[in-house]
């Protein structure tokens, strides 16, 4: 036996070369993709914000007034001398290294187009260092408070704008009736039932709501006079949001705080709405943005003050705002030439134009937001429904089990079908056969939902499958029905995974062009869609068209600004979904 | 303790919020009401008389409704520029435009009755006429502008300045020449790299009709609907050749070199002047738009069609902003009378 053992003389030596080579190969693979993407984004950002024309003085001014104080805030929050030393080392050393390397490449290899060493420093050293410090800073209490407040401000504005956009197409008058007759009584009954523990009131809530909604649909055309839009939004959204915030805070820190948290933003928002109406701004959107920003912000501030830790962190938004203002003042006072970004306010609020400097993306942004909102709801409902059925209700053996497996394989195959095919399906089925109209928002939303449905189903199935069977059996043993087990055990446990899959799928849907071309979505529209059945354009369609325009300003500046806008909206969408997911993860 | 405290504060705040609701309701009653008789304006309007100057100051703001346009990507910049101005003048008109290619627009959208106009960079073809007839879609043909199809080479190619129409055909016909010296002896012995329009494009059809005739188009080329791709391909190689609409060359004259075309009377370079004077043959071509007669029955679409024909002589817009050759006054008058007849037929 001993003679057969190759290790008889000890274990010998194993070469480590392969392992090391493999490690570096995989490192190289990951770096290649990331660097390529990084270069693309850097150039798109330079074009969109016209950074190629930013003078070094301009960059330096804002570095000192905006980035510097922000970094100081993060370092102060992290309160770690080691981090401070490292950050200053990176910023200082990076400056020398980047300047030297950049000059060397320009001198000896080839000139680098549209980039100077200051910009290279900004993207290669300053941006990663800032991100790192923001991460480190956010782990301290001070930073957490600052970023929490900042997040609520930004998130509130984003959600306010999104809701305002959705109400461009959804009938506000119908919503007013539905809310007044259906939602409000149902919620009222339910809350009453809970507080007074009257189960009958709680059971009655759903039917009452349904009756109210039906009545609203019938009354929509009967009623002739409605309050103005501003009043409708105030009554149906601002007041409930404020009330919810007030209840929440009153629960935690007493009724004065509750009234303050609900009432103050509501008052500001109402005043803002009426002022905006006077100034010719879109009053309902102003109202929504103010109330959806104000209430969560006020609630957060109240909580931080209650806890009493890291209150100074609340100064972060003021620090940044002051940085922007001071920077602008200095630039103005010294007459420093500032870049003229393509991506500015008018780009986001104007219609497309034949003149590059006047071209805007507004109708396409609205179109994309509306479609993606509908796609999110549709694909989530259909995807989760299908996967729950396939995983929890279908038998695993017998002829039905075989059928299920065939179905599964087909769903998986559908995920690989090219998007043009879905476009054709949408054109034939939704646009022509069901008569939903060529190139309408409904047709597009249905088509894109179908397109991403396989991905949503598969990821939701994976998530449901990964819920340990012990949990189900445990729930069964408690005497729970299958519906109770699914609702109380499986879905909450699987929700983070389901959301992850939906986020990825939505990211694909928002960038699709081919199916939209097939269903006849317009290349360019000049007004935001005002109903689900009006023709619309989406951001990728408009960007693609601009990329084909003969003027160089369109192909570089306007297209780059469009790409950045698309990315920002995508990041915003994903960010909110990830927040939801993290909340679900914490909850379970 | 917690629960009683909860119930207590919750009750109070709910009462408070109810009071706030009541306040808001009172506000709602107090003022700011709207009624819902909006509906379909625009049908009973007088609709302007069309032939008046066209400075836009007559803006009949009662016009409303959608205008759906599809078709040629060559006409797209011109049509969308006109739409932009029209949309600005009439805030309730809701125009949209898709760039589908002339043929794609006719067969998928226009002849099935889904769009009001179809733009085309060549006249409607027999099979498309048949399809329209089958679906009962009637239309008129309007000339939008003139384009000078431009043949371009790399700016570094100093060995070539012009080509005769026969030489051009040798380069692009189905049994195309492989190397440049097959075309003319003094040309270098290098392979020809071809960049041209895709076969869904009206530019492709027109190029065949004007230059290649029976011989047909070569398949050995990079086909695309995007002028940028052609421009970048040609800019990337000294021995490349491509063709596209005049607008791209007009906006980027330094990036590429346009060849003079010799149709027997010596080489003529493409320009707004040579195309409008008729010297630049055979590659100057008319661009069309086809309004559907049924759609012209709607006042806002008829008004848009009139506005479009008025704008075809607008030099700033057609030549300056887009890069096509504006129509002459006579052409415009002719088109306007065709249009007025069609509108009369539609509105009876």
Interface of A with B in 420-439 (CB under 8 A): 438-439
Where residue A10 falls among pLDDT bands split at 50, 70, 90?
Answer: low
Identity of the residue in B28, B225, B251 whose CB atom sits nearest the CB atom of A550: B251
Confidence (pLDDT) at B45:
38
Interface of A with B in 395-414 (CB under 8 A): none
Domain boundary among B230, B256, B282: B282
Give chain A positions within 8 Å (CB) of B114: 438, 520
Please check whether residue B252 is in contact with residue B206, taking contact to mean a CB–CB distance below 8 angstroms.
no
How many structural domains are present in chain B?
A: 2
Is residue B73 included in any domain, yes or no?
A: yes
Residues making up chain B, counted from first to last = 348
Cβ within 8 Å, pair A535-B97: no
Span A536-555, average pLDDT: 87
Cβ within 8 Å, pair B252-A225: no
Any CB–CB contact under 8 A between A235 and chain B? yes
Question: In a 10 Å sphere around its CB, with 0-12 CB exposed, 13-18 middle and 19+ buried, how is residue A143 labelled?
Answer: buried
Interface residue of B6, B25, B28 to substitute, partner A, most A CBs within 10 Å: B28
Span A563-578, average pLDDT: 87
Residues of chain B with pLDDT under 70: 1-61
Shared domain check, B290 and B253: no
Query: Taken in order B333, B127, B83, B327, is the CA torsion positive or negative?
Result: negative
Domain spans in chain A, listed from the N-terminal domain onward: 14-48, 53-142, 144-348, 349-587
Strand B240-244 relative to strand B193-197: parallel, antiparallel, unpaired?
parallel
Distance from CA of A551 to the nearest CA of B (A): 6
Reduced to 3 states (helix: H, G, I; strand: E, B; else coil), residue A359 is coil
Question: In a 10 Å sphere around its CB, with 0-12 CB exposed, 13-18 middle and 19+ buried, how is residue A345 labelled?
Answer: exposed
Identity of the residue in B17, B36, B76 whose CB atom sits nearest the CB atom of A226: B36
Q: What is the pTM of this model?
A: 0.82
Structure tokens given for A337: 């030439």
Q: In this predicted model, what pLDDT tens digit does every residue of A88-116 receive, in sequence order? A: 999 899 889 998 998 898 888 888 877 88
Interface residue of A235, A250, A257 to substitute, partner B, most B CBs within 10 Å: A250
Cβ within 8 Å, pair A439-B98: yes
Confidence (pLDDT) at A9:
64
Where residue A566 falls among pLDDT bands split at 50, 70, 90?
Answer: very high
Please check whether residue A17 is in contact with residue A532, taking contact to mean a CB–CB distance below 8 angstroms.
no
Cβ within 8 Å, pair A537-B227: no
Q: Which of A155, A149, A183 is nearest to A301 (CA)?
A: A149
The phi and psi torsions of A547 (rounded to 5 degrees) equal -65, -20
Structure tokens given for A485: 């087990």
Query: Cα–Cα distances in Å, from A514 out to A426, B78, B138?
Result: 12, 24, 30
Shared domain check, B195 and B142: no
Q: Which of A381, A380, A370 is nearest to A440 (CA)?
A: A370
CA angle (A92 as vertex; A91, A94 as ends), nearest 5:
65
In angstroms, the CA A544 to CA A555 distance is 9
ipTM of the complex: 0.76
Shared domain check, B156 and B196: yes
Interface of A with B in 342-381 (CB under 8 A): 351-355
Structure tokens given for B169: 């055909």
In angstroms, the CA B249 to CA B270 distance is 10
Q: In this predicted model, what pLDDT tens digit does every residue of A242-270 receive, in sequence order? A: 888 888 888 887 888 888 888 888 888 88
Strand B267-268 relative to strand B260-262: parallel, antiparallel, unpaired?
antiparallel
Cβ within 8 Å, pair B96-A225: no
Shared domain check, B142 and B156: no
Distance from CA of A70 to the nearest CA of B (A): 39
Residue with tokens 């969408």: A573
Q: Which of A298, A228, A231, A235 is nearest to A263 (CA)?
A: A298
On the question of pLDDT at A520 being above 70, the answer is yes
Cβ within 8 Å, pair B226-A535: no
Where residue A225 falls among pLDDT bands split at 50, 70, 90?
Answer: confident
Q: Which of B308, B285, B340, B329 is nearest to B80 (CA)?
A: B308
Is residue B25 included in any domain, yes or no?
A: no
Span A528-553, average pLDDT: 86
Confidence (pLDDT) at A381:
93
Class of the CATH domain delimited by A349-587:
mainly alpha
Cβ within 8 Å, pair A527-B94: yes
Cβ within 8 Å, pair A239-B10: no
Reduced to 3 states (helix: H, G, I; strand: E, B; else coil), residue B291 is strand
Other C-beta atoms within 10 Å of A128: how many? 13
Cβ within 8 Å, pair A526-B96: yes
| A:B CB pairs within 8 Å | 159
Query: Cα–Cα distances in Å, from B328 out to A392, B52, B137, B334, B335?
Result: 73, 17, 29, 10, 11
Q: How far is CA A514 from the centre of its chain?
A: 23
Shared domain check, B270 and B177: yes
Shared domain check, B143 and B90: yes
Span A495-511, average pLDDT: 87
Shared domain check, B88 and B137: yes
Span A140-165, average pLDDT: 88
Structure tokens given for A492: 């909450």
Distance from CA of B281 to the nearest CA of A (A): 23
In angstroms, the CA A57 to CA A281 distance is 35
In angstroms, the CA B6 to CA A258 distance is 12
Shared domain check, B167 and B252: yes
Interface residue of B4, B24, B148 to substitute, partner A, most A CBs within 10 Å: B24
Shared domain check, B189 and B230: yes
Give chain B positions within 8 Å (CB) of A355: 321
Cβ within 8 Å, pair B14-A247: yes
Shared domain check, B71 and B127: yes
Residue by residue, what is the 3-state secondary structure of B201-227? Answer: CHHHHHHHHHHHHHHCECCCCEEECCH
Give chain B positions within 8 Å (CB) of A194: none
Identity of the residue in A225, A246, A548 whose CB atom sits nearest the CB atom of B13: A246
Structure tokens given for A539: 């951001």
In angstroms, the CA B277 to CA B326 distance is 11
Please check whether residue B42 is in contact with residue B55, taking contact to mean a CB–CB distance below 8 angstroms.
no
Identity of the residue in B17, B81, B98 whose CB atom sits nearest the CB atom of A520: B98
Considering A190-199, A209-218, A303-312, the range whose residues carry the highest mean pLDDT is A209-218
Domain boundary among B236, B258, B282: B282
In angstroms, the CA A579 to CA A148 distance is 12
Is residue B14 included in any domain, yes or no?
A: no
Residue with tokens 């421009």: B231
Structure tokens given for A141: 């209490």
Any CB–CB contact under 8 A between A222 and chain B? no
Domain boundary among B282, B308, B330: B282
Confidence (pLDDT) at B35:
56
Reading phi first (left if > 0) and then psi (alpha if -120 to 50, else beta), residue B147 is in beta
Give chain A positions within 8 Å (CB) of B80: 352, 354, 524
Give chain A positions within 8 Å (CB) of B74: none
Is residue B13 included in any domain, yes or no?
A: no
Identity of the residue in A251, A353, A526 whose CB atom sits nearest the CB atom of B95: A526
Other C-beta atoms within 10 Å of B306: how many? 22
Confidence (pLDDT) at A3:
53
Give chain B positions within 8 Å (CB) of A439: 68, 96, 98
Identity of the residue in B9, B10, B28 whose CB atom sits nearest the CB atom of A231: B28
Residue with tokens 């302007």: B48
Distance from CA of A180 to the nearest CA of B (A): 11
Contacts of B80 (CB under 8 A, 6+ apart): A352, A354, A524, B97
Confidence (pLDDT) at A445:
93
Identity of the residue in B12, B77, B96 whose CB atom sits nearest the CB atom of A535: B96
Whichever domain contains B195, its CATH number is: 3.40.190.10
Confidence (pLDDT) at B3:
41
Give chain A positions within 8 Å (CB) of B99: 523, 545, 548
Any CB–CB contact under 8 A between A79 and chain B? no
Is residue B18 included in any domain, yes or no?
A: no
CA atoms lying within 13 Å on the CB side of residue A134: 15
On the question of pLDDT at A463 being above 90, the answer is yes
Is residue B333 included in any domain, yes or no?
A: yes
Any CB–CB contact under 8 A between A245 and chain B? no
Other C-beta atoms within 10 Å of A229: how many? 21
Shortest CA distance from B248: residue in chain A: A550
Give chain B positions within 8 Å (CB) of A536: 96
Please check whether residue A515 is in contact with residue A423, taking contact to mean a CB–CB distance below 8 angstroms.
yes
Span A341-365, average pLDDT: 88
Is residue B95 included in any domain, yes or no?
A: yes
Span A420-445, average pLDDT: 89
Residue span of the structural domain in which B332 resides: 65-147+286-347
* b (16+ CB within 10 A) / e for B204-217: bbbbbebbbeeeeb
Give chain A positions within 8 Å (CB) of B76: 523, 545
In angstroms, the CA A112 to CA A119 distance is 12
Question: In a 10 Å sphere around its CB, with 0-12 CB exposed, 13-18 middle and 19+ buried, how is residue B222 labelled?
Answer: middle
Is residue B21 included in any domain, yes or no?
A: no
Other C-beta atoms within 10 Å of A541: how many? 24
Interface residue of B17, B21, B66, B114 to substitute, partner A, most A CBs within 10 Å: B17
Confidence (pLDDT) at A459:
92
Cβ within 8 Å, pair A353-B84: yes
Shared domain check, B343 and B244: no
Interface residue of B32, B92, B108, B245 to substitute, partner A, most A CBs within 10 Å: B32
* Strand ranges for A387-536 from DSSP E: 524-525
Confidence (pLDDT) at B22:
52
Q: Which of A62, A63, A71, A73 is nearest to A329 (CA)?
A: A62
Shared domain check, B86 and B191: no
Confidence (pLDDT) at A8:
59
Give chain B positions within 8 Å (CB) of A523: 76, 97-99
* b (16+ CB within 10 A) / e for A150-176: bbbbebbebbbbbbbbebbbeebbebb
Any CB–CB contact under 8 A between A548 and chain B? yes
Please check whether residue A540 is in contact with residue A339, taking contact to mean a CB–CB distance below 8 angstroms.
no
Where residue A587 falls among pLDDT bands split at 50, 70, 90?
Answer: low
In sequence order, which ranges of A170-254 are alpha helices (DSSP H)? 172-178, 184-195, 199-219, 229-233, 239-253
């Amino acid at each position: 036996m001993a003679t057969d053992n190759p290790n008889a003389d000890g274990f010998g030596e194993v070469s480590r070369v392969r392992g090391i080579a493999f490690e570096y190969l995989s490192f190289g693979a990951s770096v290649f993709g990331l660097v390529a993407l990084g270069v693309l984004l850097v150039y798109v950002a330079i074009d969109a914000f016209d950074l190629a024309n930013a003078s070094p003085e301009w960059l330096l001014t804002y570095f000192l007034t905006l980035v510097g104080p922000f970094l100081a805030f993060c370092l102060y929050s992290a309160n770690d001398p080691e981090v401070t030393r490292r950050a200053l080392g990176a910023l200082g050393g990076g400056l020398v290294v980047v300047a030297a390397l950049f000059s060397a490449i320009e001198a000896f290899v080839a000139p680098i187009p549209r980039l100077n060493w200051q910009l290279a420093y900004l993207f290669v050293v300053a941006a990663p260092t800032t991100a790192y410090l923001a991460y480190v800073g956010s782990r301290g209490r001070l930073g957490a408070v600052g970023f929490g407040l900042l997040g609520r401000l930004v998130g509130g504005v984003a959600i306010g704008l999104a809701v305002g956009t959705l109400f461009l197409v959804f009938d506000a008058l119908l919503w007013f009736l539905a809310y007044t007759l259906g939602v409000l009584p149902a919620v009222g009954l339910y809350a009453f039932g809970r507080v007074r523990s009257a189960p009958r009131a709680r059971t009655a809530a759903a039917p009452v709501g349904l009756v109210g909604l039906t009545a609203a649909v019938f009354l929509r055309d009967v009623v002739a006079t409605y309050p103005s839009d501003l009043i409708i939004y105030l009554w149906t959204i601002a007041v409930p949001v404020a009330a919810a915030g007030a209840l929440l805070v009153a629960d935690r820190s007493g009724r004065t705080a509750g009234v303050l948290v609900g009432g103050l933003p509501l008052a500001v928002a109402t005043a803002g709405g009426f002022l905006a109406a006077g100034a010719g701004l879109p009053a309902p959107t102003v109202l929504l943005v103010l109330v959806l920003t104000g209430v969560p912000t006020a609630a957060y501030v109240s909580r931080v003050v209650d806890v009493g830790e890291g209150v100074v962190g609340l100064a972060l938004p003021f620090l940044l705002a002051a940085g922007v203002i001071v920077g602008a003042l200095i630039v103005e006072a010294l007459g420093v030439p500032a870049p003229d970004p393509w991506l500015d306010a008018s780009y986001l609020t104007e219609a497309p134009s034949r003149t590059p400097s006047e071209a805007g993306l507004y109708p396409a942004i609205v179109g994309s937001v509306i479609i993606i909102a509908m796609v999110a709801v549709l694909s989530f409902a259909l995807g989760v429904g299908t996967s729950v059925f396939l995983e929890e209700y279908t038998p695993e053996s017998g002829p039905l089990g075989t059928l299920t497996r065939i179905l599964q394989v087909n769903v998986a195959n559908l995920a690989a079908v090219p998007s043009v095919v879905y476009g054709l399906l949408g054109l034939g089925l939704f646009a022509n056969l069901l008569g939903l109209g060529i190139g309408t928002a409904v047709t597009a939303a249905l088509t894109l939902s179908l397109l991403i449905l396989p991905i949503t189903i598969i990821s939701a199935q994976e998530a449901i499958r990964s819920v340990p069977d012990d949990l189900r059996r445990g729930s069964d043993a408690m005497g729970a029905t299958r519906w109770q087990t699914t609702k109380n055990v499986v879905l909450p446990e699987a929700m983070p995974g389901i959301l992850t899959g939906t986020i990825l799928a939505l990211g694909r849907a928002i960038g699709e062009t081919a199916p939209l071309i097939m269903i006849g979505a317009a290349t360019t529209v000049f007004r935001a869609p005002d109903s689900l059945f009006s023709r619309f354009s989406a951001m990728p369609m408009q960007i693609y068209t601009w990329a084909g325009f003969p003027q160089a300003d369109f192909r570089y500046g306007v297209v780059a600004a469009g790409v950045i806008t698309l990315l920002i909206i995508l990041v915003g969408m994903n960010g909110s979904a990830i927040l939801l997911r993290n909340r679900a993860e914490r909850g379970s | 303790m917690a629960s009683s405290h909860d119930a207590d504060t919750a009750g109070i705040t709910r009462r408070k919020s109810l009071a706030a609701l009541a306040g808001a309701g009172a506000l709602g009653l107090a003022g700011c009401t709207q009624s819902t008789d909006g509906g379909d304006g625009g049908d009973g309007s007088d609709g302007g008389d069309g032939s008046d100057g066209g400075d836009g100051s007559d803006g009949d703001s009662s016009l409303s409704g959608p205008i759906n346009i599809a078709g040629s990507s060559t006409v797209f910049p011109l049509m969308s520029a006109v739409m932009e101005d029209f949309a600005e003048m009439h805030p309730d008109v809701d125009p949209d435009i898709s760039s589908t290619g002339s043929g794609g627009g006719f067969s998928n959208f226009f002849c099935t009755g889904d769009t009001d106009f179809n733009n085309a960079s060549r006249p409607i073809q027999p099979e498309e006429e048949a399809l329209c007839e089958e679906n009962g879609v009637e239309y008129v043909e309007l000339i939008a502008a003139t384009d000078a199809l431009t043949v371009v080479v790399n700016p570094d190619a100093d060995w070539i300045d012009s080509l005769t129409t026969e030489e051009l055909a040798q380069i692009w016909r189905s049994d195309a020449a492989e190397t440049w010296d097959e075309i003319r002896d003094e040309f270098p012995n290098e392979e020809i790299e071809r960049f041209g329009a895709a076969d869904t494009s009206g530019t492709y059809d027109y190029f065949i009709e004007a230059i290649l005739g029976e011989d047909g188009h070569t398949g050995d080329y990079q086909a695309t609907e995007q002028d940028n791709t052609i421009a970048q391909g040609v800019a990337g190689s000294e021995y490349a050749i491509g063709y596209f609409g005049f607008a791209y060359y007009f906006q980027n004259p330094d990036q590429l070199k346009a060849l003079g075309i010799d149709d027997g009377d010596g080489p003529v370079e493409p320009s707004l002047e040579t195309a409008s004077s008729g010297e630049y043959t055979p590659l100057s071509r008319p661009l069309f738009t086809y309004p559907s007669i049924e759609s012209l029955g709607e006042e806002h679409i008829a008004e848009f069609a009139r506005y479009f024909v008025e704008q075809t002589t607008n030099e700033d817009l057609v030549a300056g902003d887009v890069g096509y050759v504006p129509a002459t006054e006579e052409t415009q008058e002719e088109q306007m009378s065709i249009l007025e007849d069609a509108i009369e037929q539609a509105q009876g």
